[in-house]
Chain A
């Protein structure tokens, strides 16, 4: 698995949330709540359940629940098929919730690959503002 086409990459984003894991779990697994912070969906908290996430930009993600342990961990596939490989992505998203004295430490890890990693800027319309924010930070670090 070391060829350019199948090289796996990982994104990790973590945050301390001032709410208990049980409440956070509801936001992560109840479709009407997921829609409010993530995307429209037909999620069910059931291993093997296939569902879709529908983005505001018209993109559709094909997902399948891989693992779940209430209030602790949730994992599903996050695949985006697209005729243009620059837009395509095959990945797995895993949320991990750890209780803290002040609430919950939330960690999301996304691991997978894009058929054309180097040119894969295609999903940029998912949020140019976000990207530009990243670029800002990157540039700040370079100074």
Chain B
């Protein structure tokens, strides 16, 4: 386990922080305000989490007037992922679909 891994795991180990990161992955660029609405914690807390994510290279900020927009940096996760873990998730999800289909099929 490298230092880079340690930083990523430590950063994403916090459920609130991971939730914010997931939101950015799924919905794209967001402001602190928009993230606060769904995060379930105060705006200063969200800002603090974003700071930690930014330090780990997991998010990037972009200033637009008075608003700061945050976006997920998926490349930062590259050290954690290879095609095998990706495909394992892929097959698990496809097997869910397959079971749904079999339940709908006639004998």
Contacts and interface: CB of A to CB of B under 8 A. Distances in A.
Given A119-B78, A130-B93, A139-B9, A33 B87 contact: no
Contacts of B83: 9, 89, 114, 117, 120, 123
Contacts of B22: 132
Interface stretch (A11-19, A43-51, A69-77): A11-19
Interface string B41-60: 00000000000000000000
B86 interface: yes
Contact of B86 (A18, A121, A136): A121
Interface of B: 9, 12-13, 18, 22, 25-26, 74-75, 77-95, 97-102, 105, 107
B101 to A, nearest CB: 5
- Most-contacted residue by chain A among B83, B89, B102 (CB, 10 A): B83
A133 B89 contact: yes
**B interface, over-half SS:** helix
Contacts of B101: 27, 33, 36-37
Interface of A: 9-11, 13, 15, 17-19, 23-24, 26-27, 33, 36-38, 89, 106, 108, 110, 114, 117-121, 123-124, 126-136, 138-139, 142-143
